[in-house]
């Protein structure tokens, strides 16, 4: 599976949610989620979570996975193991942006998020 965007590169100024991605034959497998932050201003933070749904409408109250809070540009990855969630057939990203200090009170991030199938053998080797 080629990488698919959960969020194409965009400017984030407030909290929101990305488009729904239907998993198809990837349901129940491990996925590698990559967050890229390409633009940032000082004194702000970005929280990104991945939610799952069995029907594409009910997303539940708790995320399946979340990135640690981010303050800097960079590329970050987490593994989303869906083996414990066989009912999940759709995923989407949700985010919250915060800003504090002087200047414009609105946060400003440039970011993208994509997902790709995780090679099981690579995951096992990488665990050691």
54-67 pLDDT tens trace: 999 999 999 999 99
- Greater confidence (42 vs 1) lies with 42
Q: What is the pLDDT of residues 14-54, one digit of tens each?
A: 999 999 999 999 899 999 999 999 999 999 999 999 999 99
Range of the domain at 41: 4-126
Question: What is the pTM assigned to this prediction?
Answer: 0.89
54-89 burial by CB neighbour count: b if 16+ within 10 A, else e?
eeeeebeeebbbebeebeeeeeeebebebeeeeebb
Two tokens, residue 60: 């539940």
Mean pLDDT of 57-78: 97
| Nearest partner of 67 among 56, 80, 78, judged by Cα | 78
Q: For the chain, how many structural domains are there in total?
A: 1
What CATH number is associated with residue 12? Answer: 2.60.120.1110
Under the banding of pLDDT at 50, 70 and 90, the label for residue 101 is confident
Highest mean predicted confidence (pLDDT) among 1-10, 26-35, 115-124 = 26-35
Does residue 121 register a pLDDT over 90?
Answer: no
Under the banding of pLDDT at 50, 70 and 90, the label for residue 104 is confident
């Amino acid at each position: 599976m080629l990488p698919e965007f959960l969020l194409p590169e965009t400017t984030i100024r407030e909290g929101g949610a990305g488009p729904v991605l239907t998993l198809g034959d990837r349901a129940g497998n491990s996925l590698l989620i990559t967050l890229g932050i390409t633009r940032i201003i000082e004194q702000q933070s970005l929280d990104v979570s991945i939610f799952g749904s069995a029907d594409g409408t009910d997303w539940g109250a708790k995320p399946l996975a979340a990135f640690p809070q981010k303050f800097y540009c960079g590329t970050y990855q987490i593994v989303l193991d869906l083996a414990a969630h066989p009912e999940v057939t759709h995923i989407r990203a949700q985010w919250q942006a915060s800003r504090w200090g002087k200047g414009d009170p609105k946060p400003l991030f440039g970011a993208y998020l994509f997902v790709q199938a995780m090679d099981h053998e690579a995951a096992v080797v990488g665990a050691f």
